[in-house]
């Protein structure tokens, strides 16, 4: 099939996480369009999860700093 080399090149250039997820699927795609569509969806979800992870990490840092600030104020008042 002529399109097979496109799929090989496409897989070679993609994010490692997305490539692994595509390879874990039971039935692999036969056309470059199917590969592209699945990779695009996985990439979207991966980016969303990264943003959520960063948001949660930043919120945890803020809470930790607020707690330290409260402890320091309590020590000064004592």
What tens digit of pLDDT does each residue of 43-77 get?
888 889 899 999 999 988 888 888 778 777 777 77
For residue 1, the model assigns a pLDDT of: 47
How many H helices and E strands in the chain? Answer: 3, 0
- Checking if the pLDDT of 42 tops 70, the result is yes
pTM for the structure as a whole = 0.54
C-alpha–C-alpha distance, residues 38 and 19, integer Å: 10
């Amino acid at each position: 099939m002529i399109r097979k080399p496109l799929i090989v090149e496409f897989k070679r250039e993609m994010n490692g996480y997305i490539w692994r997820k595509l390879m874990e699927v039971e039935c692999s795609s036969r056309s470059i369009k199917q590969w592209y569509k699945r990779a695009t969806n996985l990439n979207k979800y991966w980016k969303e999860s990264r943003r959520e992870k960063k948001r949660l990490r930043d919120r945890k840092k803020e809470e930790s700093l607020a707690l330290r600030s409260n402890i320091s104020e309590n020590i000064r008042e004592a």
